Chain A
Amino acid sequence: MEPPPQIVVDGVRKVYETPSGPVEAVARASFTIRRREFVSILGPSGCGKSTLLMMIAGLDPASEGSITVDGAPVTGPRPEFGLVFQDATLLPWKSALENVLFPIRMMRREVAPARERAMRLLDFVGLGGFEGKKPHQLSGGMRQRVAICRALVHDPELLLMDEPFSALDAITRDEMNVALMDIWDAYHKTGVFITHSIREAVFLSDRVLVMAKRPSTVVADVTIPFPRPRDMSIQEDPEFNRICGELRARIEEGYARAGEARGPRRSLKAFA
């Protein structure tokens, strides 16, 4: 028997009131995410992905509809969520270890017991020996690894990631995908991952939600059948490429529906 889903997003709409009139950031979103499932949200920029993630995190209230996590409606921020952003947003004056421990301090928990976990996390992502380094002494990929450790240090139920690898170069990005995959297999969290890379979404996820712009809705929900643990080699699998092609087609449909005067080649490029 299926356990009940952990996250239920039901008819959520978000309208921002701006000086130049209301902006509909999310028109209507409904989906569920099971415990320990890794779900990517794929869509063009400005389609409301970040807004949706912030609403799930309880950092921004929905205008309509409801979001529940573990059966309880999300009404405000909850520390049992781990957040990772596009920029590592580390404190520049703190060492890698101190940055990882930051949530523990902010949650006013005892630091000493968490230190060991923080060191283990840093070790796990290949940053053993770098715990004393400050962010400016680390590469972009290393900084983002620290940010991922920071998101996991307080053992959250849920990891919410908003384009965490978008600012990295392609090679580092591949490395980070593998690192995240390893973390996933080791730590078993529920994950919501925002990206506009189709291959990244397919490689990492159990399911991919495709969002369209104007109106901003979820237009497709595609299950990725590859078993775990996965490695880079699945990217050569014909099935992998078939799924990528299907997702690309769904995104194109989204554009077509929005009636955007946009050639398929340009939008394809945006999702290379």
Chain B
Amino acid sequence: MASDTRDVVVDAAKFAVPRATVSAAGDQSAPGAAIDTQTIGQVTVQDPVMTARQVSVHYGAKKAIADVNIDIGRNSVIAFIGPSGCGKSTFLRCLNRMNDTIAAARVSGTITLDGKDIYDRSEDVVQLRARVGMVFQHPNPFPKSIFENIAYGPRIHGLAPTRADLDEIVQTSLRKAGLWDEVKDRLDQPGTGLSGGQQQRLCIARAIAVDPEVILMDEPCSALDPVATARVEDLIDELRQNYAIVIVTHNMQQAARVSQRTAYFHLGNVIEVGSTNQMFTNPRHKLTEDYITGRFG
């Protein structure tokens, strides 16, 4: 269990990285030596909701990620950071088997959810995706009303036997996503008519509506302005009470603000995993340090 308190995270956010301070810690790989792709840091957590062991993904003949080992803890936020193209999205898509929709992708290794292998033959991918929800980089509300956007998931999974149940789910999901007050008078309006930030919170509400255990977010704020970003970040912090959240971000401050653990991806490998506090104040791997201090990527 990631037990970092909110205070510690804020400390990390305040931390303006002076290079001299951290460079002393970055003695893991000597200059010129082959990159050490062994993951260092705290890969495992107690009572993880999801675990990934030796996960590799190929797109055709091309290897996108190799031997990724990582645990996703309950009721906490883990951030995936790393330079573009290093495989963060690819790994994220493994966690709810969205890679199945990409014809060229081949996944190997073991990923479990509550101890059960999600790539097992007996596992129903439809059920899995209800339990592991996803929010995308670009808000993608359906071209339907706000109400229907939220109701879609509960309907197809039969979560709402009566109309009253459905109304209830829609309302609670919108409340949890902090959107209720803004849209309660226009639930029948198209979801695509909302602002970008509202649309993204609508997508989060849509994911919450099927009552998942884990929510995956792939750069959820990259299309949003700072104000909308701050709202989504606050929301993520609240959602942590009930869900495990995995967030991919290119924004170091954001990773520091919202996450308790951080994983640094580099060219398809997880280089370092650890508490966000430690990763940002005292990275153990040279590559992590270079990336976090902005020297690389």
The answer to whether A and B assemble together is no
Using CB atoms and an 8 Å cutoff, list the residues of chain B in contact with chain A. none
